[in-house]
Homo-oligomer: A and B are copies of this chain.
Amino acid sequence: MKLAVYTSIPDDELTEFLTLYDIGDLHSLKGIAEGVENSNFLLVTDAGPHILTLYEKRVAEEDLPFFLGLMQHLAEQGINCPQPVPMRSGKFLTRLAGRPAAIISYLDGNSVTRAQPDHCHQLGDSLARMHLAGEGFLLKRSNALALKDWRPLFQYSEERADEVLGGLQNLINNELNFLEENWPGDLSAGIIHADLFPDNVFFLQGKLSGIIDYYFACNDLFAYDMAICINAWCFEPGHAFNVTKARALLEGYSSVRPLIDDEYKALPILCRGASLRFLLTRLYDWLNVPPGALVTPKNPTEYISKLKFHQSVKSASEYGLDGVTA
């Protein structure tokens, strides 16, 4: 079950909006279920299909030049990602239906519902290429959901955490203490995607055809991006860890950008942090469903289970790969 909520666009505003672009006349506009944070439409004009995005409240308007600029930069570096379509004015960003709006190129392909090891291998390869391609991008954006933000975020949910699972408040406080004391500070950093879930990766005839949804991208540790992917791609529906997929992911990544030994050794703690980050946002959303909400939040227990798995990991070799660090 998926969900798309979107702002409706008055006819006359849409017509005026399209005159700003050199993409011909409107054929059709359909709201699509893609990306949770924004309203996305498939916009077909004389120039073919595009994605029209209206940026909703959860995306900070001042971050949009970073996100759109990053997509353009990555595309120029040969990464298969959507890129913003310029207006006749040369700019990317305008307003539509009261919201910031941009037209983004359409990417062929389809996300997989049941990732196989080969998908994970290709993902690792593309993730490493993206990390390398981000290097020349001049804008910076700090991670708004980094280690220092987790404790303040937890304060909104702390008192009610045990409603979700007995002992959860203690579990999270202890984990925050551990992570704050042991988080690695000196690993390679750069542009990371920071939300690389299967929904955001397209495949076409079995080949990775593109990566979308850069609206959490930021500057942070490369290996933390890998940890997010391990969590999002390498667990089975019953929450069992699939070491074959993790090995494929790490091998794919290492074939392009070998992890250095310190990055590799830090994987267990980075995976714990990545688990806690998604546990905390899901816990917050779960406990704070607004009345009449159109969105059913994701259950946070999946990430409790992932966190506990990584707490039990004794060394990075349990992720299935040894001896391929640089």
A contact set with B: CB distance below 8 Å? 1-12, 25-34, 42, 44, 108-110, 112-114, 202, 204-205, 292, 294-296
Contacts and interface: CB of A to CB of B under 8 A. Distances in A.
A28 B202 contact: yes
A308 B6 CA distance: 32
Contacts of A109: 27-28
A8 B12 contact: no
A31 B36 CA distance: 13
Contact of A296 (B1, B9, B33, B294): B294
Contacts of A4: 2-4, 31, 33
Contact of A32 (B9, B10, B30): B30
Contact of A2 (B6, B42, B108): B6
Best-buried of A4, A7, A42 by chain B (most CB within 10 Å) = A4
A92 to B, nearest CB: 23
A208 B260 CA distance: 61
Contact of A6 (B9, B33, B44, B202): B33
Contacts of A112: 11
A10 B112 CA distance: 8
Given A28-B109, A31-B34, A294-B294, 19 more contacts: A1-B5, A1-B6, A1-B294, A2-B4, A2-B8, A4-B31, A4-B33, A6-B33, A11-B113, A25-B205, A26-B204, A26-B205, A27-B110, A28-B108, A29-B110, A30-B34, A31-B32, A32-B42, A292-B296
A9 to B, nearest CB: 7
A32 B204 CA distance: 20
19 contacts: A1-B6, A1-B294, A2-B6, A3-B4, A4-B31, A11-B112, A12-B114, A26-B204, A27-B108, A28-B108, A28-B109, A28-B204, A29-B110, A30-B32, A30-B42, A32-B42, A44-B108, A292-B296, A294-B296
Contacts of A31: 2, 4, 32-34
B12 A1 contact: no
A113 B294 CA distance: 21
A5 B2 contact: yes
Contacts of A8: 1-2, 113
A7 B113 CA distance: 12
Contact of A3 (B5, B12, B108): B5
